[in-house]
Amino acid sequence: MEGKAYLEFANFSSADQGNYTCMQQGNSSSSFTTRLIVKESRCSKDPGFKRNEDRLLGNIGSTVTLNCTALLFWDPTEEHCDTTLQWSKDHFPLPNHIHYTLNASSWYPAAGQLMVTNLLEIKLKEQDDFGLYICTVRNYSSLFRVSGEWIACGRPHGPNHIFSVLAAIVLLLLLAVAAVVYSRCHLNIKLWYKNSYGDYELSDGKLFDAYISYVNNDHDRKFVNFILKPHLEKRNVYKVHLNDNAILPASEPSAELLMNLSRSRRLIVLLSHAYLEQDWCCNNFRQGLLHLLELCPQPILILLEGQSKRMRPEIKQLLNDHQHCLTVLTWKHNSVTPSSVFWKELALAMPRRVVFRSSSACEPQTLLHNDKDPMLTLDSNYRDSNSDTDPAGDLGKNNSH
């Protein structure tokens, strides 16, 4: 009896390779063995996708480019060998509303290998353009996700603002540091600028840098003669003129007062409690202050610590109302040191000092301008407060200390 048997394979795989035996039923001694060798197709091998950035950020109006590159094993003798990269969005074909362009290329890096590239350039015009894009070949895929950040008004916000935020934080820190440094060192900065670039006041024909007015009592006299005057003359090389008479009596200013003020660049008033207790201060401080501002445009008033608590409200109000044309300094318990705020503020209010290395006793105006006018040449004891050789002269008796 003669018969035929067939064994069919729908799909071959490497697991199907081996020996296959055909036997007659009931007769094990009669058999036929054949060996099946399965040769793997190059076109069935897995593609090797080149690793790319799988997450791209973009804004509406911008353009993003997706680069899909794969290494394929290729056999030109095989009839069905897929070498085409296909794009899809969210597992569906690319929709018609997306504005895109494709640029495909390929080359042979080695025998039996094909490198294929497909660039998908997308113009992002609406929110639906963002999403998951898939590049597929031979049932293998590479995924690309295009996303963007949105603000409340519905427009995209730039994704890479971390550097701008960091720059803003650094700028704020620098401004904060600069503010702290300026708050602590602004007086030193102003003094340096004044001493380096400030204007000199030596060509104004005045003999004294400061005219100091105070009350002749023990406390005020000690402060002026042992603290204020030595600091100005010895440390800052200023020339001062002292006067313990009432600078602003109820009557019109005397000729002596006008002369002394005209010879001085600054007016310093020790506005102590005793000074304010004078009759003219108690009766008409407002009128006296207005006269003071007429005689000197920017007088320097020195208050003592704790004095403001004992000061009459109307005097406080007048000083506050005229603070734009007054320099008010407060002597505190820690103002003794030369580097205190009090001395720095006083130095800012005084003329720019000039340091001379010459041993000549001439007036600085003579040194700078070669002025030989004898009125500008002082004798060696010009620093003494009793410099008037004729106290009974035109100015009358001199009560300076």
- Same domain flag for 140 and 211: no
CB 316 within 8 Å of CB 277: no
φ, ψ at 208 (rounded to 5°): -120, 150
- The domain that contains 54 carries what CATH number? 2.60.40.10
Confidence of residue 278 (pLDDT cuts 50, 70, 90): confident
Instruction: Answer whether residue 168 is part of any domain.
Output: no
pLDDT of residue 330: 92
- The domain that contains 254 carries what CATH number? 3.40.50.10140
Instruction: Answer whether residue 134 is part of any domain.
Output: yes
- Which positions ≥6 away from 399 have C-beta within 8 Å? 243, 244, 245
pLDDT of residue 121: 92
pLDDT of residue 356: 54
Which tops the pLDDT comparison, 279 or 266?
266
77-86: string of b/e by CB count within 10 Å (b at 16+)?
A: eeeebeeebe
| Residues facing 23 on adjacent strands | 31
Instruction: Answer whether residue 34 is part of any domain.
Output: no
In this model, does residue 91 exceed pLDDT 70? yes
In this model, does residue 56 exceed pLDDT 80? yes
Range of the domain at 272: 206-376
* For range 279-304, the mean pLDDT: 80
pLDDT of residue 354: 64
Instruction: Answer whether residue 210 is part of any domain.
Output: yes
Confidence of residue 230 (pLDDT cuts 50, 70, 90): very high
Which of 98-102, 186-190, 253-257, 370-374 shows the lowest per-residue confidence on average (mean pLDDT)?
Answer: 370-374
* For range 232-240, the mean pLDDT: 88
What's the pLDDT tens digit per position in 339-351?
Answer: 899 999 999 989 8
Confidence of residue 248 (pLDDT cuts 50, 70, 90): low
Confidence of residue 329 (pLDDT cuts 50, 70, 90): very high
In this model, does residue 73 exceed pLDDT 80? yes
pTM greater than 0.85 (yes/no):
no
